[in-house]
Amino acid sequence: MKSPGSQLSPGRYAQELNLLEQVHVALGTASKLEDFYLIATSILVDPNAFGYSRALVLRSEERPRSFTGRVALGTQSLEDHLRFREDILEETRRLQELIEAIQRENPEPRAIQPLYDLRFHSLWIHLLQGNDAGGDGLNSGFRELNIGREGLPENHLLERAAAATRATIFTAEDVDATGLEDYVRFPCVAGRLVTRRGMHGLLIADRQYEDTPIDGESLYHFQWLVNHASVSLENVELVEELTATTQRLQEVDRLKSNFLSIVSHELRTPLTSIMGFAQLLAAEKVGTLQPSQRDLMRRIEQHSTHLHNMVNDILEIAEVEGGGMVNVQVQPVDPLSCFISVLPKIEARRGNKQVTIEPLIHDSVPLVWADDAALERVLFHLLDNAVKFSPGEGRVTVEYEAREAVLDISVQDSGIGIPQDNLKKIFDHFYQVDFRLERSFGGMGIGLTVVKLLLDAMNGRIRVESTPGVGSRFTLTFPIAPGRSGAPAE
Ligand code: ADP
């Protein structure tokens, strides 16, 4: 592409197409602005590609109206330029030989493409290394530039390039380049990098040390590069935006967890006192109660227990998110005894519901690799939901089934079920299928989040099958450990 001719021979045409494709691929690999600037300027100064003497990317800053130079690749003297040009060509020859040798072994074109990309990348690394080694590289001209646009004369190179919709060749007669003497010489070519957000900046290159003039064909190629670079830049901007948004969201999420943790701690202390005093009163330790007073005390106890459970749930999720609880200790655990320990807690939550909970055991139950406290909490949340979403007289079964090296523990209910579309989302924080405030089931949408976090920490798995109006089945899977339920571990 560096030596324009009036006619392209088929061989050169193919070569050019190949180069354009590589440039396209290379620009597409950037995911950060700094990488993008480096790749775009490297393509411009690479004698195998555009062969300019120097290249400059200037970012246009809106506030204050100015240009900031991010990457300026170029050599400061003809001698440097020729030396580095030779280095790069030598490096290219070496890599080309390597590619050809590999190609002889493996003519599959797909295997070769990464090598071409590698050729480009290694050249750029070469350029950069020069910079790292004390300004000796092709980008020894790299400097941070800050040019205020306010003070620039009207026919300044930057103002004129920013105003032109197409890439343009500028000469010393055309424009004034005061302030840019160290970075660009005339004639030079400049074009705008434009994305959906507006003008991002300018790409400028000169051929100070090259015999090849900047002519119409160079301008055509430069415009091609500017167009492709603008498309890639748009992607880079989007990726950067997404990364920044994700970081902000993670920060907000962390603040929310901290807040939840503090609030629930603060609520738990007075609530524990209220419950303690209510129990004292209900047990008539401080005086005999009338039947109506006893009934009211029972309701106070019921409601404060409910509140206490809710506060514990919030605290649980804040702890799990903060990494506090994820320190589970995986060891052989008896899943049946975990189930038995959970039953009284479910009894305390079920209120007036007559739902029965039945274990279904086909064979002796093996121990599993888990953490008993964590498994109890998982079973608690699954059973709590199963009871909550079942009709008043429903039936919940807990089935244990060993399959080769794993044990499945399924909690099945005959409740309202979950629509297919919602199945994936129910494990998200605060997600509830029914979001309405007037919904008939209580809860805060965190039980299953806790289940998922605890299972991840224990290397357990969960899957859910459900049919609206028929019921749901949540199946936990754990690796089997040595030993059987009720028998000491082997
Ligand atoms: P909560 O039960 O406190 O709302 P969870 O995280 O435990 O929160 O569950 C999230 C949502 O998943 C519930 O609000 C409900 O819509 C749905 N869900 C969970 N388990 C069941 C179940 N056994 N039957 C029907 N829906 C369920």
pLDDT 10s digits, 318-336 = 776 665 556 689 999 999 9
In this predicted structure, the answer to whether residue 417 has a pLDDT above a threshold of 60 is yes
In terms of Cα–Cα distance, which of 61, 60, 41, 62 is closest to 52?
41
Top mean pLDDT of 12-16, 22-26, 178-182, 295-299 is at 295-299
Q: What is the average per-residue pLDDT within 140-164?
A: 77
Tell me: pLDDT of 120 over 70.
no
Cα gap 112→76, rounded to integer Å: 36
> What does the pLDDT average to over 241-260?
88
Mutate to test the pocket of ligand 1, among 346, 381, 382, 448 (most ligand atoms within 8 A of CB): 448
Locus of tokens 């939840």: 260
Mutate to test the pocket of ligand 1, among 320, 378, 389, 444 (most ligand atoms within 8 A of CB): 389
Average pLDDT over residues 112-120: 57
Place 170 in a pLDDT band, splitting at 50, 70 and 90. Answer: very high
Q: What percent of the chain has pLDDT over 70?
A: 83
% of residues, the chain, pLDDT over 90: 37
Least confident of 345-354, 369-378, 403-412: 345-354
Inter-residue contact 449 to 438 (CB < 8 Å): no
Residue closest by Cα to atom 16 of ligand 1: 433
Binding-site residues, ligand 1, Cβ < 6 A: 381, 385-386, 389, 413, 415-418, 426, 431-434, 443-449, 472
Average pLDDT on 465-479 reads 96
Q: How far apart are CA 12 and CA 366, in angstroms?
A: 72
Tell me, what's the pLDDT at 105? 79
Residue 141 pLDDT level (bands cut at 50, 70, 90) = very low
pLDDT above 90: residue 95 = no
For residues 374 and 89, the model is more confident at 374
Q: Is the distance from CB of 139 to CB of 127 less than 8 angstroms?
A: yes
Range from 32-36, 75-79, 429-433 that averages highest in pLDDT? 32-36
Q: Report the distance separating Cα 203 and Cα 54, nearest Å.
A: 11
Ligand 1 atom with least separation from CA of 427: 6
Q: What separation in Å is there between the alpha carbon of 380 and the centre of ligand 1? A: 13
Q: Provide the CB-side half-sphere exposure for 243 (13 A, CA).
A: 9
Predicted confidence at residue 63, as pLDDT, reads 67
Q: Has residue 3 got a pLDDT over 60?
A: no
Q: CA-CA distance, 166 to 271, in Å (whole number)?
A: 71
269 pLDDT above the threshold of 60:
yes
Q: What is the pLDDT of residue 131?
A: 45
Model confidence at 6: pLDDT above 50: no
To 10 degrees, what angle do helices 216-282 and 33-45 make? 170
Q: Is the pLDDT of residue 137 over 50?
A: no
Q: Which residue has the higher pLDDT, 153 or 16?
A: 153
Q: How far does residue 417's CA lie from ligand 1's centre (Å)?
A: 9
pTM above 0.85, yes or no: no
Q: What is the pLDDT of residue 66?
A: 78
Q: Which residue has the higher pLDDT, 186 or 74?
A: 186
Higher-pLDDT residue of 23 and 145 is: 23
For a mutational test of ligand 1's pocket, the pick from 349, 377, 379, 426, i.e. the residue with the most ligand atoms closer than 8 A to its C-beta, is 426
Report pLDDT for 115.
55
User: Strand order in 188-195's β-sheet?
Assistant: 145-148, 66-74, 54-61, 198-206, 188-195, 168-170
pLDDT at 322: 67
Determine which residue's CA is closest to atom 19 belonging to ligand 1. 385
Ligand 1, from 432, 434, 435, 465: best to mutate by most atoms within 8 Å of Cβ? 432
| Predicted local confidence at residue 419, as pLDDT | 93
Confidence of residue 123 (pLDDT cuts 50, 70, 90): low
- pLDDT for 50 beyond 80: yes
pLDDT category, 104, cuts 50, 70, 90?
confident
Which amino acid residue places its CA nearest to atom 14 of ligand 1?
Answer: 432
Ligand 1 atom nearest to 381, measured from its CA: 7
Per-residue pLDDT, averaged over 141-148, amounts to 64
Does pLDDT of 58 surpass 80?
A: yes
